[in-house]
Amino acid sequence: MTSPEEPKRGRLHKPEANAKFATKLIHFGREICEHTGAASVPIYQASTFHHFDLDNPPEYDYARSGNPTRQALEEYIATLEGGTRGFAFASGMAAISTAFMLLSSGDHVICTEDVYGGTYRLLTTILTRMNIETTFVDMTNLDAVKAARKPNTKAVFMETPSNPTLRITDVAAVTGWAKEHGLLTMIDNTFMTPYHQRPLELGVDVVLHSATKFLGGHSDVLAGLAVVADKSLGMRLKQLQNGLGNVLGQQDSWLLIRGMKTLKARMEAHEQSARRLAQWLSEHPAVAQVYYPGLPDHPGRAIHERQSLGYGAVVSFDAGSGELAKRVMGRVRLPIVAVSLGAVESILSYPAMMSHAAMPREVRLERGITDGLMRYSVGLEDIEDIIADLEQALAD
């Protein structure tokens, strides 16, 4: 029988602070069940928990407030981002919406102008009813960001690379300026993931993910994640998560943990092919414009390389017209034509009618989201097959 002095068996300590990212992906502190030694986080399929002693409340009482499976995921993403606390939500938009609930009526937000369409819809059709206003600016221009500040400005929301035109924001510069004025900073880190980019290290307050994408990686889970560095901010976000109840279920939490373990291997393979595809597209006569931060002529490449360790797996390109774009979408054989990105299979999207359909056409065009623009999330298929498929789709 185990004596009281003996440590528990079957649970590993969290990795050392200097452990490499690949090690943290596998050894994050909850990877072995402390009770059974199982080499997988258990799925606690329970909505409520017994109180053995009313004078000493248990760690878990109701699944909306906390569930061991979800908590394992939340600790996992906090470890990867280098934060103090993580939170798992029912979707990426649930995470973003909850973060914006840190604001109050009468507050003003400065936001990346070519932001994801769902975020744009939230800011322009829902938060406006709560008297929270937004100014969209070209976040690549720090002077434009500064000029947008009002007496009631409370937060800055960044997305870099932006979706879908992959513009680059100087995160450290914007965050440094925001802190001088006491502004909350938030960033959507979906495209880069913590493998390539860790915004908390650049001073950002709240890092957000649509974990449906690269973190999950298999087109089989809908999830959102948030991470904070400041413990008091974490307490506020926890209150919101519990109060709103938009938490991630335990089955999806387990699926996300499983998907995240291969993040490094997947991101490296994705990016290797994406860099090749971007170069090939930039040389194709039927392609008017290619957007990818790894291309030598990308205007934000130098800044991106200062704050990120890679270029990612999303390549956007413009066929010059909606007619040509739709022809390509109808001809491709390998990628699924769908909303979303970041999966093992390639996904080709048409922002004008998919991710940014909520954005009025004139607003889209002002932001460079043209009718000819397509967004290619490069999967794990052989790059030669991907190129051959696009070659036949782009052919006259």
Q: To 10 degrees, what angle do helices 250-260 and 68-81 make?
A: 30
Place of tokens 């929270």: 132
Give the residue numbers marked as catalytic. Answer: 64, 116, 188, 213
> What's the number of CA atoms in the CB half-sphere (13 Å) around residue 101?
17
**Phi, psi at 198, each rounded to 5°:** -125, 90
What one-letter code names the amino acid at 13? H
Length of the chain: 396
Query: Nearest to residue 187, comparing CAs of 273, 99, 125?
Result: 99
Burial of 354 (0-12, 13-18, 19+ CB in 10 A): middle
Q: Hey, what are 335's tokens?
A: 């990628």
- Strands, DSSP E only, in the chain? 85-89, 108-112, 133-137, 153-159, 184-188, 206-210, 224-228, 289-291, 314-318, 336-337, 347-349, 373-377
User: b or e along 265-295 (b: 16 or more beta carbons within 10 Å of the residue's beta carbon)?
Assistant: ebbebbbebbbbbbebbbeeebbebbbbbbb
CB contact at 8 A, 341 and 314? yes
- Beta-carbon contacts of residue 354 (< 8 Å; ≥ 6 apart): 338, 339
Distance of alpha carbon 159 from alpha carbon 140, whole angstroms: 11
SS3 at position 302:
helix
